[in-house]
A and B are shown apart, each in its own frame.
Chain A
Amino acid sequence: MKEKILIVPCSGIGKSLGSVAREGAYVVTEELCPGRTQLMPLALLVLGDKETQIELSSAGAIAIDGCVRACAAKVVEGAGGTVAHGLQVLDVCRRHPDLKPSGISELDESGHQLARALAEEVKELVDNMTGEVTHA
């Protein structure tokens, strides 16, 4: 059985874009690619959890960061993982200038739409990594 692709969102707690990263990761792992992806909490990697590091070393990871400090990508690499793709929510924002997310604990509608747009981009990456065709 193929290893699942790990989706690692930032643990952002201070800005809306962190919440968008998290919600986007949930959309990918629960709705768009539930059988092919697995959510990886960043906190476990910070701690250097051995089980998590082994899991990380045997699977590709997609890091989703909410700000330029890129904690998710840096921590994955620091834990010995390979960031197959690193996404910045800010870049997705630039591609969707009509969406202005707000809210942290509870994202507004614009935030949810941006999370879904982010998730669609992640799904394409997952499709490419797993060899699935998404476009006719």
Chain B
Amino acid sequence: MPELPKKKVGLIACSGEEIPEGTITRLAVRQVLESLRPEQTVTICLPLFLAGGEGDRAFARFHPTITVDGCAKRCAARGTEMYSGKPAVSIVVSNSAHPNSAALGSARRLSGAGMQAVRDVADQIAGHVDNLLGLKWDRRSGRPIHGSPPEEESKPRQAACSCGSGIPCQALCVAGREVTLIALPLIFSQFREAGKLPSDSTKTELMQAVKIYNPVPSEEEAAYAQAVMQEYAAFCRGSN
């Protein structure tokens, strides 16, 4: 049965190639993705918000997002908010405890102080990830403490990296206008494979699943439900 992508924290680095702080954002994010919180985090390249499709732009609406910027221009934070969704947390490396940019090395080769800054920023990101997911971390075992929300098993990631395919989306007509719903194709597949045929009870369940990933205005819920059910009925006919 297909799995819906799990809620993870999205990390977006500015990756600014011109300054050492930009390199620090990229390396710190990689450290969190690879070592500190590999099961809890995903990433996407900032430029994909412009160059990619609707699924890429859905990234920050789907994942609570931490942006990591090298300088006060805050390209990652502002770009993410402009094209995808407001970040939950915004970190700026140049604001942190590393005021002496020259000591960090060059953008191409960080110094020892620069690499220490990478570790510090990575720790800061990991702390925010835990806060956003409500995790308490056992520093000895390197695993979440029992009693915290369960750690998700590692699954193939829909939006794991810059070249990921993004979150599947589907456009449908709600009360005469086009609306794009995140994760709808996966929700339909999951319901169909569970043998849930179009019915009133399925409609209620479908809308519950849709609302996990999409804002549905309460005054338009009936129109959304009708449109979703029409699409689901068509989906079921097509998959017979």
Contacts and interface: CB of A to CB of B under 8 A. Distances in A.
B206 interface: no
Given A25-B17, A47-B73, A13 B47 contact: no
A126 interface: no
Interface stretch (B159-167, B168-176, B193-201): B159-167
Contact of B14 (A26, A43, A78): A43
Interface string A18-48: 1000110110001000000001011111110
Interface residues of A, number: 33
B50 A11 contact: no
A66 B51 CA distance: 13
A9 B107 CA distance: 14
Contacts of A9: 17
A107 to B, nearest CB: 11
Contacts, number: 111
Contacts of B17: 9, 11, 22, 25-26, 39, 41-42
Interface of B: 13-18, 22, 26-27, 29-31, 34, 43, 45-52, 73, 75-76, 78-79, 82-83, 107-108, 160-164
A41 to B, nearest CB: 5
A105 B31 contact: yes
A69 B15 contact: no
Given A11-B17, A105-B31, A42 B47 contact: yes
23 contacts: A11-B15, A11-B46, A13-B30, A13-B161, A13-B162, A14-B162, A15-B162, A26-B17, A26-B108, A41-B75, A43-B14, A43-B16, A43-B22, A43-B79, A44-B16, A46-B46, A49-B73, A66-B162, A69-B48, A69-B163, A75-B47, A78-B50, A78-B51
B18 A41 contact: yes
Contacts of B16: 41, 43-44
Interface in A58-81: 66-67, 69-72, 74-75, 78
